[in-house]
Amino acid sequence: MRLLLLFTFLLSFNALNAQGLFPFLDNIGYLRSFENGYSKQLDYLPPTEYKYNQNLIVFRDHKRDLFVYDGKKKHFLNNTAVRYELGLNSVTWNIGPILFHWENGRRKTLSNFADYYAVSDSLVVFIDSRDNSIKAHYKDSIYLVTYSLEELTLPQNIGPTTFGFKGPGEVQYIFDRGKITEIGSSQFSFSYASGYGFSVFNDPINQSFALYENGEIFNIEAVQIPSYKAGNNFAVYLDQNRNLMYYEDGDLKKISNYSPDFYEVKDSIVVWGETNLFFMYDGEQVTQICNYIPEEYKLSNKTVAFRNVMGGVSVCNYGTTKEVTKVFKAEFDVNANIVRVETSKGNFLFYQNGKSYDY
C-alpha cells in the first residue's frame, strides 16, 4: 500500500513539474530558454525569428540557419528552409518540393514531391504531386489517405492524431492513427472537430450530431447542433437548448445551462463567458475565474492567463486564481503551465507552480 501511495505521489509530482520550455530575448537581444526555474542561453547573437511549444524551441540564427532545442541540446536542421512548422515533439520544413521531418534527434525526408502541407501534434499531412495524393505521416510511417485525378486540397481542422476528409465519389472518411474508417456518402459538406483518437461532426446523412471513436460511430445527439469544438481528449458543444455539454471517454455531462455568450477550447481546457462571468472547466471541476470578462486571455494545457481588471496579469489553474504581476498592460503569454510577463524591455517575470522568477 505504501509503495502504491508513493508511486501515485511521484506521478502527480512529475505531472505538476512536467517539462516546459519558454523562450525569451533578454535585454541584450540573446535568445534564452526558461525551464524548471532556470535560464539557459541558446545562442550568442539575436535570432531572426523563433517558434515554440512546451517541448521545443525552433529558431533561425543571425545567418538564418535553422535549429531546434529540445530541452537537452541544440540540433542543426538546415540552412535553406523556406517554411517550418512544429509538432508536439517534431519539426517539419521544406526546401522547394522536398519535405523534411525531425523528431527525437532523427531527421528524414518525407517526400521529394510535396506541395501543400499541414502539421499537428503528431501528424504531418501533405499533398504528394508525384501521384496526386494526400498522405499522412504518423509515428515513423507514411500512409496513403486518398488520391484523385482532380486538384486536391488539404483536409480542414486536422487534429493531433485524427481528421476527417472527403474521398472519391463524395465519400466521407476518418483517418485515425493510420486507420481509415468510412462515414458515408453525401453531397453535403462535413465539418469535423478532432482530437486524440476521435472526431465529432454534424452528420447530414442521419441529421444527427455524431462521434467517431475507436473505429466506431455513435450519435451523441439525435439532431444536429449549433456549435462544437474539440480539445485533446474531449469535445464541447452547444445543444439545441444552448446548454454547454462536455463529452470525454463515453461520459457526457452538462457544464453550463446558462446559454454561454462564447466558449473556447484548447488543449485540456474549455473557458466560457455567461452573464459577465468568466468560467473554466479542466475535466475535473468548473471554476469561476473572475466576475468579469477579461479583455485578453490565453490558454495552454490546464492554465488560463488573463488581463485582470486592474490591468495586471493573473493566472488560474487547478481551481485557484492568483495575481502574477501588477505591472500595467504588460505583454504576457502562457506555455504549458508557465506564464511569461515582459515587465519592461528585455526583462521578464516567469510564474510556474506558485513561484515567480525574474530575468
**pLDDT digit string, tens, across residues 161-206:** 999 999 998 999 999 999 999 999 988 999 999 999 999 999 999 9
By the 10 Å C-beta count (0-12 exposed, 13-18 middle, 19+ buried), 142 is classed as middle
**Strand partners for 109:** 100
Q: Give tens-digit pLDDT for 20-30.
A: 899 999 988 89
Q: Give tens-digit pLDDT for 143-163.
A: 999 999 889 999 999 999 999
* Residue type at position 186: S
Query: Which residues, other chains included, contact 53 with Cβ-Cβ below 8 Å and sequence gap of 6+?
Result: 86, 88, 335
Cell readout for 116 is 501543400
In the chain, what percentage of residues exceed pLDDT 70? 95
Torsion 280-317-345-52 (CA) sign = negative
Query: Could you tell me the CA-to-CA distances from 299 to 9, 193, 236 in Å, in that order?
Result: 26, 18, 16
Domain edges within the chain: 2-260
Q: Taking the model in full, what pTM does it have?
A: 0.91
Q: Is the pLDDT of residue 14 over 80?
A: no
What pLDDT does residue 81 have?
83
Q: Give tens-digit pLDDT for 216-231.
A: 999 999 999 999 999 9
| 307/4: higher pLDDT | 307
Q: Is 321 helix (H, G, I), strand (E, B) or coil?
A: strand
- Stated as kind and residue range, the H or E segment containing 3 is helix 2-16
Query: Could you tell me the CA-to-CA distances from 166 to 146, 163, 184, 257 in Å, in that order?
Result: 8, 10, 10, 35
- The one-character DSSP state at 29 is -
What pLDDT does residue 19 have?
61
What pLDDT does residue 132 have?
96
Q: How far apart are the first and last CA of the chain?
A: 43
Q: Is the pLDDT of residue 9 over 50?
A: no
